[in-house]
Amino acid sequence: MTARSGLVEVETPLGPAHAHVSRPARARGTVVLTHGASGRLTGADLLAVRDGLVEAGWAVAFVQQAWGVAGRRMPPRPVPQDEAWLPVVRALRSGRGSLPGPLVLSGKSNGARVACRTAAVLEADGVLCLSFPLHPPGKPAVSRADELRLPVASAIPLHVVQGERDPFGTPGEVRAELDDPAYVTAVKGEHTIRVTGPLVDAARAFVESLR
């Protein structure tokens, strides 16, 4: 599907963020998709999801957060990271050329945490988590389940696509933290999902369920 593409730069408390926007004609909705702790948008899994959603008729804003643009090696703490994420999504959804709803917040790993934490205040219509980092590898007691459950607590549809051998949390571990096992799709892979077909299929099925 043909889509218009462009870069939107948004000023944030941590400096400029870059949103690479692909917008098909008569877009079916918008997915704001961001990276993990690497700060980069080069992962094959992220690129596959972006391309698959655009092909399905969704506008995708592929966001490099401000700390990534600045070349920082690690994300900031949750509060400043979220404060720099909020103006990006708001800018994309306001003014001339604003992107259409429904609005889905999505990210890989650290980006999935940001999406979960900010979904309610941004009035998202859905949250799509790619490889949610439920806990650090080998440390299941250090759980981030409270962040994972935030969208559900606000009655926002949630879906998690998780690699079967993800050291940051298996699909079974993630399901155990949620009320409905249907919130999770298990696919082959680890934290980086290299066989991207099932990942894209799950992402497309979830966003289409929101229309």
Question: Of 138, 135, 137, whose CA–CA distance to 148 is shortest?
Answer: 135
Question: 104 exposed, middle or buried (CB, 10 Å; 0-12, 13-18, 19+)?
Answer: buried
Structure confidence at residue 19 as a pLDDT band (50, 70, 90): very high
d(CA 195, CA 188): 7
Structure confidence at residue 211 as a pLDDT band (50, 70, 90): confident
Domain boundaries in the chain? 3-209
Phi-psi region of 4 (alpha: psi -120 to 50; beta: other; left: phi over 0): beta
Q: How far is CA 73 from CA 14, 38, 39, 179, 189, in A?
A: 14, 7, 7, 35, 25
- What would the pLDDT profile of 42-98 be if each residue is shown by its tens digit? 999 999 999 999 999 999 999 999 999 999 989 999 999 999 999 999 999 998 889
- What would the pLDDT profile of 21-42 be if each residue is shown by its tens digit? 999 999 999 999 999 999 999 9
Q: Per CATH, the architecture of 3-209 is what?
A: 3-Layer(aba) Sandwich (3.40)
**What is the SS3 assignment for 139?**
coil
**0.85 cut: is pTM over it?**
yes
Residue 210 has pLDDT above 80, yes or no: yes
d(CA 64, CA 31): 14
- What would the pLDDT profile of 123-178 be if each residue is shown by its tens digit? 999 999 999 999 999 999 999 999 999 999 999 999 999 999 999 999 999 999 99
Residue 1 has pLDDT above 70, yes or no: no
